[in-house]
Amino acid sequence: MFIEDIGRQIAVCSFDGATRLIAADKRYWNVVSICGPRAQKAILPLAKRIHYSCFDDVEDACSAIYRSPRTEDIAEIFAFIRSLGSGSSPEPLLIHCQQGISRSAAVALAWVYGQLPLSGNRSLQAIDILLQLRPEAKPNRLVLALGLAQTMPLEEARLLADRIVCEPRLAQNRFRAAQEQ
């Protein structure tokens, strides 16, 4: 979907959705592929370029069992996205994780937020865009905070991430997902 507010073609989807989308649009999509260390890495030979990132879908940076996302992981993802250009003709971007609703949604939301002009409704505008891309999104709070911290102090990013994930539409997605489990 072309997002006029940021001037870029962008998609957020699941592992399976990425495979289908890339097969339909060969050599078109530049992909951020996020998977956990125990999950199968996406093999996407028809993608234009791929950046792989490996961390679990956990919201606790101190997890002893799972590989928590780190500042470096998100910085590398954002560096890859920046390498795709900006301005009048940035290259298309597809961000995926296993289900396409938590880690990839958080990366997309943080990136979109950082691309929008400063305004009082910037976070709501970013959420609106995310929900256009992925209506069932329930962004991972830690990934979102680390993404927002790419453009603001970490403590401020954590507070903003907390407010964003509690936004009624996103909170409803979290509640709905919890009920389905």
pLDDT band of residue 181 (cuts 50, 70, 90) is low
Q: Which domains does the chain have, with CATH numbers?
A: 2-180 (3.90.190.10)
Distances (CA, A) of 27 to 91, 94, 145: 11, 12, 32
C-beta separation of 110 from 74 below 8 A: yes
Report whether pLDDT(157) > 80: yes
Q: What is the pTM of this model?
A: 0.94
- Over residues 1-26, the mean pLDDT reads 93
- The burial class, CB within 10 Å (0-12 / 13-18 / 19+), for 76 is middle
pLDDT for 36-58, tens place per residue? 999 888 889 999 999 999 999 99
